[in-house]
Amino acid sequence: MKRIDMRAAWNRASADYQRRHAISTHSAHYGPWAPLENELRLLGDVRGRRILEVGCGGGQCSIAFARQGAIAAGIDLSDAQLDYARALAAAEGVAVEFVRGAADDLHHFADGAWDIVFSVYAFQYVADMPRCLGECARVLRPHGRLVFSLDHPFRACFFDAVEQDVTLYPARSYFDASPMAWTFADTGVWMHSYHHTFAAWIEMLTAAGFRLLRLLEPAPPTEMLDDIWPDDDPLSALRHIPPTVIFVAERSE
């Protein structure tokens, strides 16, 4: 298997990622296909809440939480993403602590210190997910919430890693948890992502001491689908696949 240095990969992909997505700091988001947190209201009123964002990237969600009165911090593997986040927080005049580190090693943060651990489209890059979830549980207070979004597990099935292209048939098994190698957008940067079945996610959450409260599969807006895969596009059947999943879990006592 190709060895990929994920920190180096995200350092190289960062500028293109930020330009391409132009993520707002008005509200936290759950990825390009999903409604914003301001609409979903999965976190409730965040004023005064302590929120740790894992895989914070350019920091937009943490900054949005800080703008809304939360005490926010973010951790990410990539220096380039963190440079972007720190510059953005300074430009927006909010205080957010941004830390360089890995999602499965949150030693910088104390036990039970956070009300919410939040993550958007980052957990799919984490090789040791049981360890990561254990760390999330450790830093949360009892009954604290873990809220995270991911590429929907079905999506990886419709990607052919040999051809490096999306397919209309399930080229990859839903049950394949081995790393999937792919090149990031137009940058030519190789990435690994890790995909788990829903059953595996629920098992891992339970083993880490979480109780699943909600699982959301938001349908993307029709206009967005029309733009990417209009009806006459040969790949238009991909409109039928859910793009995003959001988990809401609670740490037990």
Ligand X SMILES: C[S@@+](CC[C@H](N)C(=O)[O-])C[C@H]1O[C@@H](n2cnc3c(N)ncnc32)[C@H](O)[C@@H]1O
Query: What is the binding site for ligand X (CB under 6 A)?
Result: 6, 10, 23, 55-58, 76-78, 81, 102-103, 120-122, 125-126
Residue 219 Cβ, how far from ligand X at the closest point, in Å? Answer: 20
Give the nearer residue to ligand X in terms of CB position, either 194 or 198: 194
- In DSSP notation, the chain reads -----HHHHHHHHHHHHHHHH---SSS--S-TTS--HHHH-SS---TT-EEEEET-TT-HHHHHHHHTT-EEEEEES-HHHHHHHHHHHHHHT---EEEE--TT--TTS-TT-EEEEEEES-GGG-S-HHHHHHHHHHHEEEEEEEEEEEE-TTGGGGEETTTTEE-SS--S-TT--S-EEEEETTTTEEEEE----HHHHHHHHHHTTEEEEEEE-PPPPHHHHHHHS-TTSTTGGGGGS--EEEEEEEE--
Choose between 170 and 243: whose C-beta lies nearer to ligand X. 243
Nearer to ligand X, 88 or 249 (CB): 88
Task: Give the nearer residue to ligand X in terms of CB position, either 170 or 179.
Answer: 179
Comparison of 54 and 225: residue with beta carbon closer to ligand X: 54
Closest distance of CB 238 from ligand X, Å: 20
CB of 47 to ligand X, least distance (A): 22
Residue whose C-beta lies closest to ligand X? 57
> Residue 179 CB, nearest distance to ligand X (Å)?
12
Minimum CB separation of residue 88 from ligand X in Å reads: 11
From the CB of 30, what's the least distance to ligand X, in Å?
Answer: 8
Nearest to 81 by CA among 107, 106, 53: 53
Please identify, using beta-carbon distances, which residue of 174 and 184 lies nearer to ligand X: 184
CA distance 107 to 239: 41
